[in-house]
Amino acid sequence: MGAGVMKPGSGGRHRRRGRRGKPQVMSEINVTPFVDVMLVLLIIFMVAAPLLTVGVPLELPKTAAQAVGSQQEEPLAISLQADGTIAIQNSPVPEAELVPKLRAVLAERSDDRVFLRADGKLAYARVAEVMGALNSAGISNIVLVTESGGPRLDGSAGN
């Protein structure tokens, strides 16, 4: 990556003014290794970026609702799995610790919006219980997360 030495007679430009025995310094920089490293980093980030979403596997119900606009902070996601376990972001939380942990997390955030992700196989009563617990914690800005492409209730299929 640094400067190399060019021997006389190995090609390139030569000065013939009495410096036949001294090698000349080559002042070209080889950028190929730099480009290789940048391309590898680009590929790594392109592959890793989609994996940075909330990692609790759920089968979200499908609806015809539009997507919620973007926001400044990473959204605070609460996931309800089919077996009834609750997770804040990726970490499971016991039911008794849900409200205190949410209060502590929301005290440090500027956005009070909470995304509630519930498995489609889960009973509506369980989702309503968790929403009631969130409301008792002082959270009134709850967004229910669904997948698009569901029925529109006017007889037509989803997108």
The pLDDT, as a whole number, for residue 42 is 93
Residue percentage of the chain with pLDDT more than 90: 6
CA angle 71/72/74 to nearest 5° reads: 85
Q: What is the pLDDT of residues 109-141, one digit of tens each?
A: 877 788 888 888 888 888 888 888 888 877 888
Q: Is 78 exposed, middle or buried (0-12, 13-18, 19+ CB in 10 A)?
A: buried
Q: What is the mean pLDDT of the chain?
A: 77
pLDDT of residue 142 exceeding 60, the answer is yes
Q: How many domains, the chain? A: 1
Amino acid identity for residue 41 in this structure: L
The pLDDT, as a whole number, for residue 36 is 94
| Least trusted range by pLDDT, from 3-7, 19-23, 58-62, 74-78 | 3-7
Q: Is 136 helix (H, G, I), strand (E, B) or coil?
A: helix
Q: What is the pLDDT of residues 22-67, one digit of tens each?
A: 788 878 888 898 999 999 999 998 888 776 665 666 666 666 666 6
Which tokens in the block code for residue 25?
Answer: 């310094």
The pLDDT, as a whole number, for residue 71 is 56
Q: CA–CA separation, 41 vs 128, rounded Å?
A: 44
Q: Is 121 helix (H, G, I), strand (E, B) or coil?
A: coil
What does the H/E/C string look like for 89-112?
Answer: CCEEECHHHHHHHHHHHHHCCCCC
Q: CA–CA separation, 45 vs 139, rounded Å?
A: 34
Judge whether 158 and 112 are in contact, CB under 8 Å: no
75 domain residue, yes or no: no
Residue carrying structure tokens 């009134």: 140
7 domain residue, yes or no: no
| Rounded average pLDDT over 79-83 | 87
| Domain residue limits at 123 | 94-145
The pLDDT, as a whole number, for residue 85 is 87
38 domain residue, yes or no: no
101 domain residue, yes or no: yes
